[in-house]
Chain A
């Protein structure tokens, strides 16, 4: 698939622009992500972080620039969109589990419907994933019966069930009580260690420092600065980056 792009660049964003009416939410955002890389996106509220990662699986449509995911250009073509979506998992701030389905059904639905997997096989995979995120005993409960941290781990398992090559996280721990944040971050760290390509919007600087390969700082719809955690926490270049870091650290 990826012969026509540079080696191992699994996400390529080139001059991506996005407007909501007259308001420009993304201004010429360019970013190249290597396979197996963990990129953390930080920035003040309203800076366009969510909009940026939501463009990558077409929950938002960008109006200018190119996005290429695993060699597939993101165009209006529904087949391309569906293919990219089935290779990309997404975890939301509000979990967005399906409340009328059990935990197990939440996880097996897409593999059965989209990948046409056999029910038994899908259930087996799902149980494996629930083990991996540490809550196999919750399989038959409904999302409403779980704690926030457990729900978010189910959401991660649900995305992983489609065997994605890329995982997008939009503030996965922001809606959680402090004591539940760690259990979700642990799952994410384990995922990073297995070599998953991850794009994570988060305010958890500890996670960024420890797990991220690179950090992206966004402000006012622009990507202001990209660099390693070390670079960011020791000699950030832009004034605004320094200001932002000083406010949240």
Chain B
């Protein structure tokens, strides 16, 4: 944690006129000496050239028609259009739960909250959206606001615990809605996961890959430090094996070999689920190594103090060691999760239609020949938006948890 006084450009020592003016800032940071000025000019020129090329391409050359025409495909893959209302319901509920959890955890309608509510409203401005889509986006914004509002009136004692229950309940409802239950002609007919695709699938793979691999990784990291040799050896072998293999080979193994490991008569596991298993197992090994770094940063005195006040090994792990170890590795873990999110695109190579898989089918379609640039540009922007959001959120979280660190 650096303090304001420790930063190299300490404002208080500068003349008054230069402290807060744009010119002062420019001079200090970009034109402090000849070499710095030269660098600034070269960088500026390169940025201008690239930006001009990009803009010219985007506004003159690019054929954006491919995006609206395939928009549903990009968003949800082969998920049947008549069942699309379920996806919207999932989104409304997401808005509501975010609102509720925000009220319970953060407690105030601050700038970030306003930005969050504004997202669906801004999306309404996208030119090719139908009036229906715009209405649904509006409902989402209203739902999140309603969630925030209602949560203020709920008689809740343990706010943190309640928030966790809400999230878990949401995930269960979400999976039921997505997957469907009952008969083919019922009100919620099943939709096989292999039909899920596009952004929907990419986000689901990343989310469940992260949330399932995290606890597994923490257990492996603890296992690697265990006093019991059997547990230690199993953890080390697992971690080192997985880290020695590329994800793509795990994905292929998952598709081909997972069935061999399962007992006879076990229902055939869905292809998407098999990919998720591979992603989870892969990510867990990396989580374990990152968490181990955090565990090693805890001074021995912390273990001793915990023992001395009578905490059992389990209690000291839960209350003393893990909270500090995990806090120390938040940036690394988030970095790992961001790359996992991007790595999920490898599932396209085993015949699953995530964002990248969908992109490949679109450009292979004779109607849309020669639109690779447009399609991949949009996919890249989508990935960037979500990756950047994750890293932004992690920086916020770090700052929030930073209180009271030595």
The winner among B310, B311, B405 for most chain A CB atoms within 10 A is: B310
- Whole-angstrom distance between the alpha carbons of A138 and B302 in the complex? 21
Number of B residues with CB within 8 Å of any CB on chain A = 22
Residues B311 and A110 in contact, CB atoms below 8 Å apart:
yes
Flag whether B327 is at the interface (Cβ < 8 A).
Answer: yes
Beta-carbon nearest neighbor of A54 in chain B: B304
Residues A158 and B309 in contact, CB atoms below 8 Å apart:
yes
Flag whether A64 is at the interface (Cβ < 8 A).
Answer: no
Interface membership of chain A positions 40-69, coded 1 if the CB is closer than 8 angstroms to chain B and 0 otherwise: 000000000000000001110000000000
CB neighbours (8 Å) of B310 from chain A are 82, 85-86, 110, 114, 162
Flag whether B307 is at the interface (Cβ < 8 A).
Answer: yes
- Whole-angstrom distance between the alpha carbons of A99 and B406 in the complex? 6
Flag whether B366 is at the interface (Cβ < 8 A).
Answer: no
Interface membership of chain B positions 305-334, coded 1 if the CB is closer than 8 angstroms to chain A and 0 otherwise: 111111110010001100110010000000
The winner among B305, B403, B404 for most chain A CB atoms within 10 A is: B305
Flag whether B6 is at the interface (Cβ < 8 A).
Answer: no
Interface membership of chain A positions 86-121, coded 1 if the CB is closer than 8 angstroms to chain B and 0 otherwise: 101110101011111110000001100110000000
CB neighbours (8 Å) of A110 from chain B are 309-311
- Whole-angstrom distance between the alpha carbons of A88 and B307 in the complex? 11
Beta-carbon nearest neighbor of A142 in chain B: B404
- Whole-angstrom distance between the alpha carbons of A2 and B319 in the complex? 34
Contact of A144 among B306, B319, B404 (CB under 8 A): B404
CB neighbours (8 Å) of A241 from chain B are none
Flag whether B132 is at the interface (Cβ < 8 A).
Answer: no
Flag whether B186 is at the interface (Cβ < 8 A).
Answer: no
- Whole-angstrom distance between the alpha carbons of A147 and B394 in the complex? 31
Residues B327 and A113 in contact, CB atoms below 8 Å apart:
no
Residues A85 and B308 in contact, CB atoms below 8 Å apart:
yes
CB neighbours (8 Å) of B327 from chain A are 100
Residues B404 and A99 in contact, CB atoms below 8 Å apart:
yes
The winner among B304, B403, B405 for most chain A CB atoms within 10 A is: B304
- In the assembled complex, the CB of A130 is this many whole angstroms from the nearest CB of chain B, namely 16
Number of A residues with CB within 8 Å of any CB on chain B = 31
Residues A114 and B308 in contact, CB atoms below 8 Å apart:
no
Flag whether B244 is at the interface (Cβ < 8 A).
Answer: no
Flag whether B155 is at the interface (Cβ < 8 A).
Answer: no
How many A-B contacts at CB < 8 Å in the complex? 76
- In the assembled complex, the CB of B90 is this many whole angstroms from the nearest CB of chain A, namely 36
With known contacts A82-B310, A162-B310, A100–B404 Cβ distance under 8 A: yes
- Whole-angstrom distance between the alpha carbons of A98 and B305 in the complex? 8
Residues A143 and B301 in contact, CB atoms below 8 Å apart:
no
Beta-carbon nearest neighbor of A113 in chain B: B315
- In the assembled complex, the CB of A104 is this many whole angstroms from the nearest CB of chain B, namely 12
Flag whether A145 is at the interface (Cβ < 8 A).
Answer: yes
- Whole-angstrom distance between the alpha carbons of A34 and B144 in the complex? 67
Beta-carbon nearest neighbor of A161 in chain B: B309
- In the assembled complex, the CB of B320 is this many whole angstroms from the nearest CB of chain A, namely 6
CB neighbours (8 Å) of A89 from chain B are 308-309
CB neighbours (8 Å) of A98 from chain B are 302, 305-306, 320, 324
Q: 8 Å CB contacts to B: which residues of A147-164?
A: 155, 158-159, 162
- Whole-angstrom distance between the alpha carbons of A155 and B299 in the complex? 16
- Whole-angstrom distance between the alpha carbons of A98 and B320 in the complex? 7
With known contacts A82-B310, A144-B404, A113–B301 Cβ distance under 8 A: no
- Whole-angstrom distance between the alpha carbons of A109 and B304 in the complex? 15
- Whole-angstrom distance between the alpha carbons of A58 and B302 in the complex? 15
Q: 8 Å CB contacts to A: which residues of B248-301?
A: 299, 301
Beta-carbon nearest neighbor of B323 in chain A: A100
Residues B319 and A57 in contact, CB atoms below 8 Å apart:
no
Beta-carbon nearest neighbor of B310 in chain A: A86
CB neighbours (8 Å) of A109 from chain B are 309, 311, 319
CB neighbours (8 Å) of A96 from chain B are 299, 301-302, 304-305
- Whole-angstrom distance between the alpha carbons of A116 and B301 in the complex? 24
Beta-carbon nearest neighbor of B403 in chain A: A142
- Whole-angstrom distance between the alpha carbons of A85 and B315 in the complex? 14
Residues A85 and B307 in contact, CB atoms below 8 Å apart:
yes
CB neighbours (8 Å) of B405 from chain A are 99-100, 142, 144
- Whole-angstrom distance between the alpha carbons of A102 and B406 in the complex? 12
- Whole-angstrom distance between the alpha carbons of A88 and B315 in the complex? 18
- Whole-angstrom distance between the alpha carbons of A97 and B301 in the complex? 9
- Whole-angstrom distance between the alpha carbons of A71 and B312 in the complex? 22
CB neighbours (8 Å) of A57 from chain B are 307-308
- In the assembled complex, the CB of A27 is this many whole angstroms from the nearest CB of chain B, namely 24
Interface CB pairs A-B, < 8 A, 20: A57-B307, A85-B308, A89-B309, A90-B304, A92-B305, A92-B308, A96-B305, A98-B306, A99-B404, A99-B406, A100-B324, A101-B404, A114-B315, A141-B404, A142-B405, A143-B406, A144-B404, A158-B309, A159-B308, A162-B309
Q: B: which residues have CB within 8 A of A?
A: 299, 301-302, 304-312, 315, 319-320, 323-324, 327, 403-406
